[in-house]
Amino acid sequence: MSAPVRILLFGAGNRGSDAYGAYGLAHPDQVRFVAVAEPNATRRSRFAEIHQIPPANQFNSWQEALQSGKMADAVINATQDEMHHASAIAALTAGYDMLLEKPIAPTLNETLSVMRTARVSGRLLMICHVLRYTQFFQKVHQILTSGQLGQIIHISHNENVSYYHMAHSFVRGNWRNSDQSAPMILAKCCHDLDLLYWFLNEKPTLLNSNGNLSHFRAENTPDGAPERCTDGCPAANSCPYFAPNIYIESLPIKIAVSRSDQPLLRFVGNLALKKPRLANQIAKVVPKIRTLTAYSGWPRNTITEQPKNEQAVWEALKTGPYGRCVYRCDNNVVDHQIVTMTFESGITTTLTMHGHSHEEGRTLRVDGSRATLLGKFTYSQVWLEVHDHGVKPVERITLPSMTDGTSGHGGGDSGLMAQFVKAMRGEQPPLTGWRDSLESHLMAFAAEESRLTNQTIIMQDFRDKAEC
């Protein structure tokens, strides 16, 4: 049996701890975290304790870790977007294979220089395009490549970002301002662009994109709304973005669970919403229910180090970025954008991203010469339907729910890690290696250029300019 892959983690934040660290705990035969680099002392020591990392292998930063010589087989790089470029180049150069969070880097030039380093170093560089590893998108890929739909004519793909995810990440949070992180089409949709490239196995020739920031703007501030939701906002009862409802009451999470396709979860969600006192009583004898009645997961666990402590959450709202009125933030990323593309064989695609969905998830439609594929991959429903153009009955395929709690991104996080281990052991080539992932990034950068310049991008010219 192969030994576990030894990992040095850069960034023990949300992704580093909750996605990759959690996989290590569940699969000690596959990965072992032997070192951690994280400037936040609470996160660093918590991660080190859980993974039994000795003090000598705990570092304040990725820079410090790399100065200490090679101590692991690979790096998992889960630092923030703007840090990927320097840390990825340094770690590859130091001889580490790497699983790198998306995006590769926030700008085209930085992305290309990471690519060049990967090529020259010959190291394994895999990008966290988690959606390719979900059962849902694997099934879509299989149907498209099987010929069941006939000739593929058009794909319409929607990335429906929920209103509360939009507010959390792209208005109040880390990805709100493209001067500090990546443009929205890269930050949120590089996964979706990657899927289109993977489904079709060909590159786009023409690309057009439009979009803007329509809603989260100062002129939409409710009358009398203060800087912070916690300062007595007159719109508290009607505003869907009222921070205490999102982070203290966890209202959007309870609503999402109450709409699950799993009857038991639906029951618990409704109980927590409509009869919270009874739900709390039941939770005393059925502790599992506390996962919802005393919810402390995402997004609550990203705003404080003590998500189980209500006082700490209030404090974060009163003083930190997540208590700010959504109409009074320093955000500039779009809240809706469309990208239309024509691919080499003439197939057309539209990608629609918007941050105003009642629930989180993707929906898609693929029209072929023999059948149409419809799909829903959201927190309430995960299914595909093939509608044949002939007399065949509709084929309905149900897939594992996103709310089963086994792994983030509908199973994508654990699928990604399992594949990374196989790639490290030389058992399988990476499905999301850097060469393939470059395509999604090129599309995203071209889309941003098209949006900003109001021009159609001829992709060959764009590639020639980028020399790739």
Q: Which residues does residue 361 pair with via DSSP β-bridges, in sequence order? A: 160, 378
Q: Which is nearer to ligand NAD, 175 or 242 (CB)?
A: 175
H or E, element range at 371: strand 371-378
* For ligand NAD, the closer CB: 16 or 269: 16
Positions in the binding site for ligand NAD (CB under 6 A): 10-16, 37-40, 43, 61-62, 78-81, 83, 101-102, 128, 130, 409
Cα gap 96→70, rounded to integer Å: 8
CA–CA separation, 222 and 200 (whole Å)? 45
Asked whether the beta carbons of 193 and 444 are under 8 A apart, the reply is: yes
Of 393, 397, 395, 394, which Cα lies nearest the Cα of 377? 397
Q: Which residue is nearest to ligand NAD (CB)?
A: 13
User: 101 vs 436, which CB is nearer to ligand NAD?
Assistant: 101
Closer Cβ to ligand NAD, 67 or 453, answer by number? 67
Least distance from ligand NAD to the Cβ atom of residue 79, Å: 4
Take residue 297 and report the two structure tokens written for it: 């997961």
> How would you classify the pairing of strands 361-368 and 371-378?
antiparallel
| Comparison of 32 and 168: residue with beta carbon closer to ligand NAD | 168
Rounded to a whole number of angstroms, the minimum distance from the CB of residue 173 to ligand NAD is: 9
For residue 272, the minimal CB distance to ligand NAD (Å) is 26
Asked if 28 and 417 count as a contact pair (C-beta separation under 8 A), the reply is no
Closer by beta carbon to ligand NAD, 8 or else 373: 8
Q: At its nearest, how many Å lie between ligand NAD and the CB of residue 29?
A: 24
Q: Which residue has the tokens 């879509």?
A: 140
Residues 273 and 254: their CA atoms lie apart, in Å, by: 6
- Nearest CA to 379 out of 355, 404, 356 is that of 404
Least CB distance to ligand NAD at residue 212 (A): 22
To ligand NAD, the closest distance from the beta carbon of 19 in angstroms equals 8
Phi, psi of 81 (to 5 degrees): -45, -50
**Residue holding tokens 């959690």?**
22
Residue matched to tokens 């085209």: 108
Which CB atom, from 210 or from 296, has the smaller least distance to ligand NAD? 296
Min dist. Cβ of residue 52 to ligand NAD (A)? 20
- To the nearest whole angstrom, how small is the minimum distance from the Cβ of residue 157 to ligand NAD? 16
Strands 5-10 and 31-37: what pairing?
A: parallel
Nearer to ligand NAD, 43 or 451 (CB): 43
Alpha carbon distances (Å) from 63 to 75, 76, 87? 13, 14, 8
Closest listed residue to residue 259, CA positions, set 401, 379, 406, 397:
379
Q: In whole angstroms, how close is the CB of 65 to ligand NAD at the nearest point? A: 8
User: What is the SS3 assignment for 316?
Assistant: helix
Our CB check for ligand NAD shows the closer of 81 and 97 to be 81
